[in-house]
C-alpha cells in the first residue's frame, strides 16, 4: 500500500520508459500473477519492480523488526500493512533529504503522468485514483494526520477489529524507533531498486 515509495523508486523521470515503469509500479497490486503479460514490456518491468520491492521489504531484518514491534502492540497480521504506511510517512517527511525535488512538485508530476495513462489502469485502480489525486494522499503522508486518515480508510475495508485506525498512536509513541528503522532500511531499498532498473535498461 506504500504508493509513495514505489513511485519514488521508479527511476529517472528523464528515462525513455519512465512513464511505463511508473504505471506498472502504481497498478501492480491490482495485477495478479501472469496477468502482467497483457501489458507492454516496460509496464511489465514496473510491475516486476514493484513485486521485487515488496519481497525485499518483507524479508529485510530491519522491516521485520518494525513489524514485530507492531505485532507486539497488538496489530497481528496487519503489522506489515501498517509498517508500509509508516515507511511512506518517513519518506514524505524526509523528502528534501532524499530528492532534489520538493514533495509537492513530485506529487504533481507523477499525478500528471498517471492521469495520462488512466485508461490503462485496472478498474479497481481507476476507482480510487481520482480520490488519491483530489485529496493529494501522497503529500498528506508527510503528516501523522495524513497517515491516520489512510490507516482509517484501510481499516474500513479490512475485517472488523483490525485496529489499523489506532496505529498512528503507536507511531507517535515510538516515533524515534520507527524513524531509525526507516533510515537503516531505505538506502538499501533504493540501491536494490536502482540495480534492478539498471538491469532492465531503464536508466
Output the CA torsion sign for 138, 71, 169, 90: negative
**Residue 203, pLDDT score:** 42
**Residue 97, pLDDT score:** 97
Intervals of the chain under pLDDT 70: 1, 159-161, 201-203
C-alpha–C-alpha distance, residues 141 and 150, integer Å: 8
**Residue 1, pLDDT score:** 60
Domain ranges within the chain, ordered by starting residue: 3-197
C-alpha cell at 194: 536502482
Whole-structure pTM value: 0.94
C-alpha cell at 111: 499525478
Q: What is the largest CA-CA distance in the chain?
A: 45
Contacts of 87 (CB under 8 A, 6+ apart): 2, 5, 57, 63, 182, 185, 186
- Cβ-contact 154, 1 below 8 angstroms: yes
C-alpha–C-alpha distance, residues 44 and 113, integer Å: 17
Amino acid at each position: 500500500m506504500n504508493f509513495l515509495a514505489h513511485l519514488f523508486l521508479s527511476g529517472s523521470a528523464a528515462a525513455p520508459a519512465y512513464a511505463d515503469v511508473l504505471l506498472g509500479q502504481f497498478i501492480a497490486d491490482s495485477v495478479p500473477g501472469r496477468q502482467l503479460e497483457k501489458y507492454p514490456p516496460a509496464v511489465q518491468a514496473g510491475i516486476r519492480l514493484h513485486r521485487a520491492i515488496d519481497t525485499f521489504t518483507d524479508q529485510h531484518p530491519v522491516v521485520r523488526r518494525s513489524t514485530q514491534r507492531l505485532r507486539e502492540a497488538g496489530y497481528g497480521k496487519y503489522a506489515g500493512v501498517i509498517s508500509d504506511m509508516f515507511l511512506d510517512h518517513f519518506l514524505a517527511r524526509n523528502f528534501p533529504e532524499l530528492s532534489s525535488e520538493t514533495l509537492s512538485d513530485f506529487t504533481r508530476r507523477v499525478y500528471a503522468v498517471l492521469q495520462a495513462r488512466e485508461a490503462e489502469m485496472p478498474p479497481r485502480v481507476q476507482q480510487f485514483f481520482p480520490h488519491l489525486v483530489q485529496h493529494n494522499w501522497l503529500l498528506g503522508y508527510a503528516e501523522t494526520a495524513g497517515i491516520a486518515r489512510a490507516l482509517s480508510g484501510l481499516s474500513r475495508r479490512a475485517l472488523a477489529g483490525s485496529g489499523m485506525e489506532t496505529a498512528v498512536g503507536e507511531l507517535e509513541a515510538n516515533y524515534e524507533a520507527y524513524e531509525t528503522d526507516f533510515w537503516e532500511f531505505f538506502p538499501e531499498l533504493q540501491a536494490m531498486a536502482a540495480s534492478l532498473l539498471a538491469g532492465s535498461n531503464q536508466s
